[in-house]
């Protein structure tokens, strides 16, 4: 039985992308197909990202897409970040996660909220050499994102952090951490404050690395803080503004998750379409059966709807317009479509879809996280419903 090619066709035309955005996305996809694809299955088996790839992400300016050129970044827009994330996810979703968190969460938070001094100090590092990580979740703080137990207490010109974090993406590779802690628990969520923490500071420890179902090459760690002293100048935004920073960055991050999911969906559709033209049953390729064609058509239709939702949300964000509802729709729709396309694609491959020699089972495992991280599907529905009720 011949094996379908794993490298998919070029980036499809998108009216929502400018020529420069499209060119960058195409170049990133070609890089991923040539450089990441040969390593993808082994990284998945090893539960480990190849460090050389992370270095290449920096060399290609993929880790500082929106950081201004004078600070070492690419100086492009938010939609370019989204197009790059989609292009990477078509080849390896774990690699897309590394670039996604860096750009849509960490960099965006500093660009908008950090002091000029903090931006000048850390953004060049994030653009060229240091992986960043976003540290919000805790054992008792998931969907209830602001039920933080991690505390921050003022001590002279420093803050002392105590507590821990769970499910921290990029935790193994990261050297800079955006940590959310409560500086005044009497104020509830209005006491939450964001701090930029460097790896290696006394009292900061990396814990257990999770052995995950999907996106396995992307590291997910627990962190602990014991009397961790953070300089006052490393407060991001103002004391008590952490909840605003978290809400706004997560709204942006959800568009990035949507981009990951449409990348996975596109990979599943392209692989399925190649496979059914080769698989012969009853004397002809199964692509000639109408039921198979209808499966592919529905996958393509759902993918196009999800893609338009993602890029619509990205453009709204870029234009400075409200986009919380649209970001929630983009993440929810794209994660559902990714699960649908990978599941249907696996079934189109029959028994071959269920074995690790073929990539579809990995795509299905990678897709599942889309409904969970950076806000579960239930939380996206809540966000959308609130907007509907406001309008009604």
Contact between 209 and 220 (Cβ < 8 Å):
yes
Instruction: At 184, list the tokens.
Output: 């005044």
What does the block give as tokens for 164? 């821990």
Please list the residues that pair with 225 across neighbouring strands.
163, 204
Please tell me which residue in 21, 66, 252, 374 is annotated as part of the active site: 374
206 phi/psi in degrees, rounded to 5? -90, 135
For residue 203, count CB atoms less than 10 angstroms from its CB and return exposed for 0-12, middle for 13-18, buried for 19 or more: middle
DSSP string, 284-343: EEGGGSHHHHHHHHHHHHHHHHHHHHHHHHHHHHHTT---HHHHHHHHHHHHHHHHHHHH
The yes-or-no answer on residue 66 being catalytic is no
Q: How far apart are CA 177 and CA 163, in angstroms?
A: 14
CA distance 373 to 261: 12
Closest CA relative to residue 134, chosen from 106, 97, 94 = 106
In whole angstroms, give the CA distance from residue 208 to residue 221. 6
- Find how far residue 187's CA is from the centre of its chain: 31
CA distances from 83 to 11, 47, 73, 78, 164 (A): 10, 26, 17, 9, 33
Other residues' Cβ atoms within 10 Å of the Cβ of residue 79 = 23
Report d(CA 328, CA 323) in Å as an integer.
8
Closest C-alpha to 181, from 162, 198, 155, 199: 162
Nearest to 67 by CA among 14, 17, 121: 121
The residues near 309 (Cβ < 8 Å, ≥ 6 apart) are: 258, 326, 329, 330, 333, 334
Catalytic (active-site) positions: 374
């Amino acid at each position: 039985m011949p094996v379908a090619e794993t490298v998919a066709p070029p980036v499809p035309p998108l009216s929502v992308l400018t020529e420069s955005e499209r060119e960058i996305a195409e170049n990133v996809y070609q890089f991923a197909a040539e450089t990441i694809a040969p390593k993808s299955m082994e990284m998945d088996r090893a539960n480990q990202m190849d460090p050389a790839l992370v270095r290449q992400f920096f060399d290609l300016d993929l880790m500082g897409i929106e950081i201004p050129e004078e600070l070492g970044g690419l100086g492009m827009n938010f939609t370019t970040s989204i197009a790059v994330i989609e292009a990477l996810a078509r080849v390896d979703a774990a690699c897309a996660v590394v670039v996604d968190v860096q750009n849509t969460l960490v960099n965006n938070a500093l660009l908008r909220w950090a002091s000029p001094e903090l931006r000048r100090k850390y953004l060049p590092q994030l653009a060229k050499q240091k992986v960043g990580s976003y540290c919000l979740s805790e054992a008792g703080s998931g969907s209830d994102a602001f039920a933080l137990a991690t505390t921050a207490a003022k001590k002279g010109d420093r803050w002392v952090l105590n507590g821990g974090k769970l499910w921290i993406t990029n935790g193994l590779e990261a050297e800079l951490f955006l940590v959310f802690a409560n500086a005044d628990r009497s104020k509830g969520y209005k006491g939450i404050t964001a701090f930029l923490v460097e790896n290696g500071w006394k009292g900061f420890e990396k814990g257990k690395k999770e052995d995950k179902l999907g996106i396995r090459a992307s590291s997910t760690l627990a962190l602990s803080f014991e009397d961790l002293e953070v300089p006052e100048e490393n407060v991001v935004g103002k004391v008590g503004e952490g909840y605003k920073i978290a809400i706004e960055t997560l709204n942006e991050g959800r568009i990035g998750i949507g981009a990951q999911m449409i990348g996975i969906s596109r990979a599943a559709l392209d692989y399925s379409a190649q496979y059914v033209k080769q698989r012969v049953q009853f004397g002809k390729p199964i692509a000639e059966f109408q039921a198979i064609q209808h499966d592919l058509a529905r996958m393509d239709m759902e993918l196009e709807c999800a893609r338009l939702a993602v890029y619509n949300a990205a453009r709204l964000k870029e234009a400075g317009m409200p986009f919380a509802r649209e970001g929630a729709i983009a993440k929810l729709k794209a994660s559902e479509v990714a699960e649908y396309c990978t599941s249907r694609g696996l079934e189109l491959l029959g028994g071959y879809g269920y074995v690790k020699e073929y990539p579809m089972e990995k795509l299905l495992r990678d897709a599942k996280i889309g409904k969970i991280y950076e806000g579960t599907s239930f939380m996206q529905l809540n966000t959308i419903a609130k907007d509907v009720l406001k309008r009604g």
